[in-house]
């Protein structure tokens, strides 16, 4: 029987869009930009399951909840990537390379700046958990099977007590400081949101155009087939009609 520890009082300490299961489970699941059955994932054996839409505050909340529960030793990344923010890629980059100058090393998202996590907290995150990447998978059977596989490898609780970090919400001191240090911070965020909305609109428009084109092509094909059938019937019947006349 592997050793388990009590998570921080009131765990999960950072509030957000997630569901909790067995706090002693070694697996946390991040569904990134997908809207999956997170409660079903938690019921399947995850300690916590939820999305991560942004490569800054959302990512910080995930890490705060992980390092405040030493029992979590694996983070399963699944679901679709978040357009523009690239929170999945940024999350994996943070675990691999940490932070330099407040920015996640190797992150490709628009605003991968860390404000609430100390170097010690990031180091604790890197040491405590292993990242398991099945990004783009939304299949519940695959996700649940991977949870069971990781639980079978449970190494036991991390050899340190829960670490508590405060993640301040938007509008808090950290957010104000970030905006003050980088005057373009909020402007970039607004532009990013506008780009995401435009991409979603274009995707929908392309889907409609493709649907109309496919429907038109099928109609033309049916017309050609019907014309060919009539032509063949005429070839068969014409000699008989001529002989009759």
Cα 183 from chain centroid? 28
d(CA 3, CA 157): 6
DSSP H helices, the chain, are 38-43, 57-67, 87-97, 119-128, 140-151, 173-181, 185-244
Max intra-chain CA distance, the chain: 103
**Mean pLDDT of all residues in 208-230:** 73
pLDDT of residue 178: 41
Q: Which helix (H) or strand (E) holds 27?
A: strand 27-30
**Rg, the chain, Cα only:** 27
Q: What percent of the chain has pLDDT over 70?
A: 79
pLDDT of residue 233: 74
DSSP letter assigned to residue 29: E
pLDDT class for 242, splitting at 50, 70, 90? low
Q: Domain spans of the chain? A: 18-169, 184-245
- The overall average pLDDT reported for the chain is 85
pLDDT of residue 211: 66
Can you tell me whether residue 77 is helix, strand or coil?
Answer: strand
pLDDT class for 35, splitting at 50, 70, 90? confident
Please state the φ and ψ torsions of residue 20, each to the nearest 5 degrees. -110, 155
**Most confidently modeled of 31-45, 172-186, 208-222?**
31-45
pLDDT class for 204, splitting at 50, 70, 90? low
Pick from 75, 82, 116, 79: which is nearest to 99 by CA? 116
DSSP letter assigned to residue 32: T
pLDDT of residue 175: 43
Q: For the segment 60-105, what is each residue's pLDDT rounded down to a tens digit?
A: 999 999 999 999 999 999 999 999 899 999 999 999 999 999 999 9
**Mean pLDDT of all residues in 2-11:** 96
């Amino acid at each position: 029987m592997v050793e388990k520890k009590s998570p921080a009082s009131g765990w999960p300490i950072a509030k957000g869009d997630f569901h909790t299961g067995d706090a002693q489970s070694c697996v946390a699941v991040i569904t990134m930009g997908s809207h999956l059955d997170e409660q079903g994932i938690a019921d399947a054996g995850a300690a916590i399951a939820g999305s991560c839409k942004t490569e800054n505050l959302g990512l910080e909340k995930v890490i705060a909840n992980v390092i405040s529960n030493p029992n979590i030793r694996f983070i399963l990344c699944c679901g679709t990537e978040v357009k523009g923010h690239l929170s999945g890629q940024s999350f994996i980059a943070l675990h691999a390379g940490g932070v330099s100058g407040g920015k996640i090393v190797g992150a490709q998202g628009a605003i991968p700046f860390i404000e609430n996590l100390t170097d010690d907290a990031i180091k604790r995150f890197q040491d405590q958990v292993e990242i398991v990447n099945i990004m783009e998978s939304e299949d519940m059977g695959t996700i649940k099977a991977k949870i069971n596989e990781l639980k079978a490898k449970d190494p036991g609780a991390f050899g340190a007590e829960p670490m508590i970090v405060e993640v301040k919400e938007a509008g808090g001191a950290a957010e104000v400081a970030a905006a003050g240090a980088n005057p373009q911070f909020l402007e970039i965020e607004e532009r990013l949101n506008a780009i995401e909305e435009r991409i979603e609109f274009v995707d929908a428009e392309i889907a409609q155009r493709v649907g109309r084109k496919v429907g038109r092509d099928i109609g033309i094909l049916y017309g050609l087939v019907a014309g060919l059938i009539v032509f063949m019937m005429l070839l068969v019947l014409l000699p008989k009609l001529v002989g009759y006349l």
